[in-house]
C-alpha cells in the first residue's frame, strides 16, 4: 500500500534530473499526482513558461512515473489560470462572464480549454468553481469573477457544461470550494476565514444537483470554518462533520480533495503533520501540498509518515485508506476511458 498515493504535490523545476527529489519519488513511491504552477508567489518560474516547455515537462513526468499520474492545474479562466497569455497560451473568459452568456457559451469555452490542457498532457483541472456569487465584496471569489452566478441552477448548468466538455477530452474536473466560499468575507490563502454568519444553505445546491447528475468527478473542500456545521471550529478540509455532510446528506461517493494544506488558514493554526493527520481522519482521499506558497520538498515523505503513524496507532483502519486509493484509481480509469464517467 503506497501511502504517497494520498498526495498531490507541487515541486520546483521545469525538468527533472536524477538528483531531484521528485524523480526518486515517481520511480519508487509515486504520489497520485502533481500540481503544476507557471510561477512561484515571488514571480520566479516554477514549472513552465511556454507551450513547448509544458509539453516536455508533462511527457517527462509520465515517463518517470511508475504508476498512472494525475497532472493537475488550476485553469478556471479569467484571472485564475496557470496557462497564461504571457507564455503564449490563449485567454479564456471568467466564470462570471460565461454565466451571463449561458451554458452554451460556457461549453464552447470549456471545450477549447480542455483541448488545450489535453494537448499539454494535463488530465485534471481543479475547476470549475461551484461557489455562488453571494458576496459582491468577496476578496477571493467575486473580486476575480470566479463564480458563474448567484443563482444555484445557473451555476450548476454552467458547471455541468464545463465538466462535460472536459470529459470529452479525457480531462477530469474538481468542483470547489465545498461547502461554499462565495459568501465569505476573507481569503483562506491569507488566514482564518469564518463563514458561520455569512454562509447560506443554498450554497449546497450546485453540489447537490451535479452529484445527482453523476457529474462530480471530485470535490475540493475549503479551509473555511462554519461553526454551525463544525462545532469544534475546524476548517471544512479538516472536518469529519463537513465530510459527513457531503457524503451522507448529498450522497457523494467520489474523490474528496483538500485545498492546499500550505494555505495560511491551515498553517497559521496547525503544523504540517497535524494538518495531514486531521485531513485524513476527516475523510479526505487526496491531499494537496502545492509547494508554491512554501517550499518543502520533504513534505511528501513527512506526509506519508504521518499517515503511517495513524495506522500504527490504530487511529484509522487500513480499509479506510484502501477506499481512498480505490477512489483515486477509479478517477484514473475514467480519465483513460476504461470506465464510464
Active site members: 189, 259
Which residue do the cell numbers 447528475 mark?
213
Per the CB < 8 A criterion, the answer to whether 217 and 174 are in contact is: yes
Phi and psi torsions of 48, nearest 5°: -165, 155
Of all helices (H) and strands (E), which one includes residue 172?
Answer: strand 172-173
Cα gap 180→222, rounded to integer Å: 8
Cα gap 328→331, rounded to integer Å: 5
Per the CB < 8 A criterion, the answer to whether 35 and 73 are in contact is: yes
Cα gap 94→78, rounded to integer Å: 4
**Cβ neighbour number for residue 100 with a 10 Å cutoff:** 14
Secondary structure letter of residue 222 according to DSSP? P
Checking DSSP bridges between strand 175-178 and strand 75-77, what pairing results, if any?
A: unpaired
C-alpha cell recorded at residue 281: 481522519
Residue 35's beta-bridge partner residues? 72
**Cβ neighbour number for residue 18 with a 10 Å cutoff:** 7
Secondary structure letter of residue 246 according to DSSP? I
Cα gap 237→259, rounded to integer Å: 7
Amino acid at each position: 500500500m503506497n501511502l504517497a498515493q494520498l498526495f498531490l504535490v507541487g515541486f520546483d523545476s521545469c525538468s527533472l534530473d536524477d538528483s531531484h527529489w521528485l524523480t526518486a519519488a515517481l520511480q519508487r513511491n509515486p504520489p497520485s499526482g502533481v500540481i503544476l504552477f507557471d510561477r512561484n508567489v515571488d514571480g520566479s518560474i516554477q514549472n513552465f513558461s511556454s507551450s513547448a516547455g509544458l509539453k516536455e515537462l508533462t511527457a517527462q513526468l509520465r515517463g518517470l512515473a511508475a504508476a498512472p499520474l494525475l497532472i493537475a492545474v488550476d485553469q478556471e479562466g479569467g484571472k485564475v489560470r496557470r496557462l497564461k497569455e504571457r507564455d503564449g497560451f490563449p485567454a479564456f473568459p471568467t466564470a462570471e462572464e460565461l454565466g451571463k452568456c449561458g451554458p452554451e457559451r460556457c461549453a464552447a469555452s470549456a471545450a477549447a480549454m480542455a483541448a488545450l490542457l489535453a494537448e499539454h498532457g494535463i488530465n485534471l483541472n481543479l475547476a470549475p468553481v461551484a461557489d455562488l456569487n453571494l458576496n459582491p465584496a468577496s476578496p477571493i471569489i467575486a473580486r476575480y469573477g470566479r463564480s458563474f452566478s448567484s443563482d444555484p441552477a445557473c451555476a450548476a448548468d454552467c458547471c455541468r457544461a464545463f465538466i462535460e466538455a472536459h470529459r470529452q477530452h479525457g480531462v477530469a474536473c474538481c468542483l470547489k470550494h465545498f461547502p461554499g466560499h462565495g459568501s465569505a468575507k476573507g481569503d483562506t490563502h491569507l488566514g482564518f476565514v469564518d463563514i458561520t454568519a455569512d454562509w447560506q444553505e443554498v450554497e449546497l445546491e450546485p453540489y447537490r444537483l451535479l452529484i445527482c447528475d453523476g457529474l462530480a468527478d471530485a470535490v475540493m473542500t475549503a479551509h473555511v470554518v462554519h461553526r454551525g456545521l463544525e462545532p469544534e471550529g475546524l476548517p471544512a478540509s479538516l472536518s469529519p462533520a463537513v465530510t459527513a455532510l457531503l457524503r451522507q446528506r448529498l450522497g457523494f461517493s467520489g474523490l474528496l480533495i483538500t485545498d492546499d494544506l500550505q494555505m495560511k488558514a491551515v498553517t497559521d493554526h496547525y503544523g504540517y503533520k497535524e494538518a495531514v493527520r486531521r485531513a485524513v481522519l476527516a475523510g479526505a482521499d487526496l491531499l494537496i501540498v502545492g509547494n508554491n506558497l512554501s517550499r518543502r520538498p520533504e513534505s511528501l515523505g513527512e506526509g506519508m509518515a504521518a499517515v503511517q503513524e495513524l495506522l500504527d496507532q490504530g487511529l484509522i483502519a487500513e480499509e479506510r485508506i484502501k477506499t481512498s486509493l480505490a477512489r483515486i484509481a477509479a478517477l484514473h480509469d475514467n480519465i483513460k476511458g476504461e470506465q464510464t464517467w
